[in-house]
A and B are shown apart, each in its own frame.
Chain A
Amino acid sequence: MAVLARARKTELDEIVARLGGLPDHVVLKPAETGTVMVEARAGGTGRRFNMGEATMTRCVVRLADGTMGFAYALGTDRPKALVSAVLDALLQSSSDAGLHDDIAALARAQTEARQLALRKAAATKVDFFTLVRGHD
């Protein structure tokens, strides 16, 4: 679900295209955009407080075999939520190796993007050296 939540709609569409379209499903909760109140802690570790809201879109579906699929992701992309929920159900019920490989590849790409950002941050890390003052 974390991988699907971070994916772009176009990436999910490619996976669905390889599956030959979405399988039959019943929409239990239509894709709906609302907000989630983001909580944080004072000082990072202390009392909880409400930092502000974020948009979130969710969707719940059921496949013909009864498997339920859920999607919850930041943002307002309702079409993506429906596709995510169906894929979430398929990932539980289907042993289609291609599908599982596709999701693993998506996860790898997300990890690589994050690692690249961290490598760029690492390039801005300060290397202190001590200036020698005065003479012996």
Chain B
Amino acid sequence: MYVAVKGGEAAILATHDLVAEMRRGDTSVPEVSTAQIREQMSLAVARVMNEGSLADADLAALALKQAQGDAIEAAFLMRAYRTTLPRLGSSQPLDTAAMAIRRRVSATYKDLPGGQVLGPTYDYTHRLFDFGLTGTSDAPPSAMPSDVALDTRMPRVPDILGAEGLMEPETPPEGDPRPFDLTRDPVEFPADRDVRLQALARGDEGFLLGLAYSVQRGFGGNHPFAGEIRMGEVPVEFVPEELGFAVDIGDLTVTECQMVNQFKGSKHVAPQFTRGYGLAFGHAERKAMSMSIVDRALKGRELGEAASYPAQQDEFVLYHSDNVEAAGFVEHLKLPHYVDFQGELELIRRLRRELEERIAREAVESGVLPKAAE
């Protein structure tokens, strides 16, 4: 039951002032600028862009600052702001083959065309604190460039296996239909791949990571291979209706993961490799990898696999992956439920009273007197 509760306005306004003060912290410490967050907290910015489902590093940095670094609160701010903006159209599908690659690795082939390009990764750091970062440095760090620029014409790894016919092909369905948009229309189950991928792309990184982990362990038992992970800039093309042709509106940094799974085949499908797909804004490798593993698990229905573990159940995954929705439902529990609770209180009291009356009645009927009050 929902009942309007009035009052508390002054207290609420006072919380706004208090949270502003908490956000600022010790004023003897310089205030952080959104540009500093954008440049120096770029992985947190990427997470907020993904889960806020809005690629704009400046806004994501502002969201992080305003939310005191709470990624989910920041994503909520992005989602809320998004609703105030008009949708001007859809881009042409991104062409990740045209990426200006800054990182590209494959766990399936050592010597693949284009090579292993490690790029900016924490994979080979020792997870030892760099106490030098506690201060500020005068000399900015600089990476030495190679003499020759990377040749970014590299095949995507699944395409290599595809050329041999060993990889499940990824081709558009008949007519290359416009994708479903879950921000416009209600999701129905079973959900198609475009719906699932959109939901996963905006899904909570932690939730997807946990699900992906479950698939590798006892609730899936799969061993996926990271066929390819690539990160870099892709141009975004947009066709304004008034022009009627595509214009290049700038670059987005994205991370793509193609996860390769063995598939023993079914009645209708020959043994081959299948794949899961992950794509995320910014450098967001864990997100893209988790997304690709869950995408593959959700493809089970199309491949004729029994849905026997949680990551294969689209309704479970899609209904619970959105952290703004999830946080809203869990956190609404702290809001006033005075009337609901009064109802429950009365019910419990009545049930106890009825129980006591029944025990007393039965005691009288059976001739045993109730014990004196203790």
* B221-260, CB < 8 A from A: 232-233, 235-236, 238, 240, 242-243, 247-252, 256, 258
Contact of B115 among A54, A115, A116, A126 (CB under 8 A): A126
Structural contact, A56 and B150, CB atoms closer than 8 A: no
| Interface assignment of A62: CB less than 8 Å from any CB of chain B | no
Q: How far is the CB of B177 from chain A (nearest CB, A)?
A: 7
In the assembled complex, which residues on chain A have CB atoms less than 8 Å from the CB atom of B201? 49-52
In the assembled complex, which residues on chain A have CB atoms less than 8 Å from the CB atom of B171? 45-46
* A15-67, CB < 8 A from B: 32-56, 58, 60
Contact of B144 among A33, A39, A72, A123 (CB under 8 A): A123
- Whether A33 touches B146, Cβ cut-off 8 Å, given contacts A43-B258, A50-B181, A55-B55, is no
In the assembled complex, which residues on chain B have CB atoms less than 8 Å from the CB atom of A55? 54-56, 59, 85
A47 CA to B302 CA, complexed, in Å: 14
* A107-136, CB < 8 A from B: 114-126, 128
What are 15 A-B pairs with beta-carbon distances under 8 A? A32-B88, A34-B86, A35-B82, A35-B87, A36-B87, A44-B158, A46-B169, A50-B180, A52-B55, A55-B54, A73-B250, A118-B102, A119-B147, A121-B119, A122-B148
The 3 A-B pairs at the shortest CB distance, nearest first, are namely A43-B170, A46-B170, A119-B145
* B94-143, CB < 8 A from A: 94-97, 100-103, 110-111, 115-120, 143
| Interface assignment of A74: CB less than 8 Å from any CB of chain B | yes
- Whether A44 touches B258, Cβ cut-off 8 Å, given contacts A2-B248, A117-B102, A118-B152, is yes
- Whether A76 touches B59, Cβ cut-off 8 Å, given contacts A46-B172, A52-B54, A70-B240, is yes
- Whether A42 touches B56, Cβ cut-off 8 Å, given contacts A34-B86, A117-B102, is no
- Whether A42 touches B194, Cβ cut-off 8 Å, given contacts A75-B58, A121-B150, is yes
Structural contact, A121 and B250, CB atoms closer than 8 A: no
Interface centre among A1, A6, A52 (most CB of B within 10 A): A52
In the assembled complex, which residues on chain B have CB atoms less than 8 Å from the CB atom of A52? 49-50, 53-55, 198, 201-202, 281
